[in-house]
Amino acid sequence: MPASNAPAGTLALATALDRSEPLARLLERARESKARFAVVAALLPDGLREAVRAGPLDDEGWSLLAAHGAAAAKLRQWLPTLEAALAEQGWPQQPIKVRIQPPQAPG
């Protein structure tokens, strides 16, 4: 067994995900959000695409995070097109919510 720098009694992330249904579901939702974003990002104009990123996916819908109000407003205009593209790709219909979340400063 290879040596580990982790403190005694801790689990590797992969092991924790395998053993925890809530964590595994969270990881699956993150993957689904990323896959949905790949579909919609291809449709957005370059300037808008750069100001939008995938947000959380939950029971209430999927969120897209806009860097500023102007991007959010433009993104809301695109929602019917984005929802149609997702439906064409076979994704279950869920409302898309647009939220403003400026990029985080490097830390």
Which residues are bridge partners to 98 per DSSP? Answer: 64
Fill in the DSSP letter of residue 50: T
Domains of the chain (ranges plus CATH)? Answer: 16-100 (3.30.300.180)
Indicate the pTM of the whole model: 0.76
Instruction: Write down the pLDDT at residue 1.
Output: 44
Burial class (CB within 10 angstroms; exposed 0-12, middle 13-18, buried 19+) of 100? middle
Q: In order along the chain (107 residues), what is the average pLDDT of each group of 10 residues?
A: 60 71 83 96 96 93 96 97 96 94 70
